[in-house]
């Protein structure tokens, strides 16, 4: 009984610094105090804390508090990614796509983007849509590109909104619909970005005033929806 109590106390005592250390380390990292962040984060990463492993990967990738080292960044991203950390999965996918720190491998980039996208990470959903559209690491499929662009666009990710608008304007992967395309382009503009301005002006020439009015009403009523994890 005494041994059980002793073990319980030991676990409680050792668990507290892990949580506190991570919070302190993350806060230090966000303040740009990288040396302090490294002292807190590295031991936790070595103990298997996925969130700490992700931050340590970022530090090596960006050269924050340590020398820039892409292979080490990939190593820590992979450890966190295998534990289900969506941000690490996305970061690892980007490294496989670019060939930084790991051999370029579009198939693995696709797989890790898909894992992160299924957890609802908008930027991963956008990249997954892009890979479907380009046929990168997977066969070209505009319908699947539209599906994943839509998931990211619904969360307010402007690059996905722009690309989804383009698919609707061209009728690729979805039925051609200038009204819906105009809505998405308008939402991009409402965010302060001008990337869709020329596209919006182009399709506007092929629309009636009634269609434009409808699209503007749709854009005015639109609200972002948080993506739910998918199976």
pLDDT digits (tens, 9 = 90+) for 155-202: 999 999 999 999 999 999 999 999 999 999 999 999 999 999 999 999
Does residue 118 fall inside a structural domain? no
Q: How far apart are CA 72 and CA 192, in angstroms?
A: 37
Does residue 189 fall inside a structural domain? yes
Local confidence band at 6 (pLDDT 50, 70, 90 cut-offs): very low
Q: Cβ(54)–Cβ(88) under 8 Å?
A: yes
**Whether pLDDT at 9 is above 50:** no
* DSSP for residue 102: S
pTM: 0.88
Q: Please state the domain count of the chain.
A: 1
Give exposure, 165-175, as e/b (b: 16+ Cβ within 10 Å). Answer: bbbbbeeebbe
**What would the pLDDT profile of 107-152 be if each residue is shown by its tens digit?**
999 999 999 999 999 999 999 999 999 999 999 999 999 999 999 9
What range does the domain containing 215 cover?
A: 149-224
Does residue 76 fall inside a structural domain? no
């Amino acid at each position: 009984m005494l041994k059980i109590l002793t073990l319980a106390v030991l676990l409680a005592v050792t668990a507290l610094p892990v949580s506190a250390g991570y919070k302190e380390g993350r806060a230090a990292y966000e303040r740009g105090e990288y040396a302090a962040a490294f002292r807190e984060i590295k031991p936790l990463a070595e103990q298997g804390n996925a969130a700490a492993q992700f931050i340590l990967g970022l530090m090596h990738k960006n050269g924050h508090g340590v020398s820039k080292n892409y292979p080490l960044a990939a190593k820590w991203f992979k450890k966190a990614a295998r534990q289900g950390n969506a941000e690490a999965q996305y970061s690892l996918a980007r490294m496989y796509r670019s060939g930084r720190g790991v051999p370029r491998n579009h198939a693995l980039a696709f797989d890790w983007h898909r894992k992160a996208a299924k957890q609802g990470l908008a930027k991963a959903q956008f990249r997954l849509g892009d890979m479907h559209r380009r046929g990168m690491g997977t066969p070209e499929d505009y319908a699947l590109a539209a599906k994943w662009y839509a998931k990211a666009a619904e969360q307010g990710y402007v690059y996905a909104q722009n690309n989804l608008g383009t698919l609707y304007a061209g009728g690729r992967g979805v039925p051609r619909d200038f009204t819906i395309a105009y809505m998405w382009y308008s939402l991009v503009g409402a965010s302060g970005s001008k990337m869709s301005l020329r596209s919006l002006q182009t399709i506007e020439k092929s629309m009636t005033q009634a269609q434009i009015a409808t699209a503007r009403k749709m854009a005015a009523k639109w609200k972002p929806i948080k993506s739910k994890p998918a199976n």
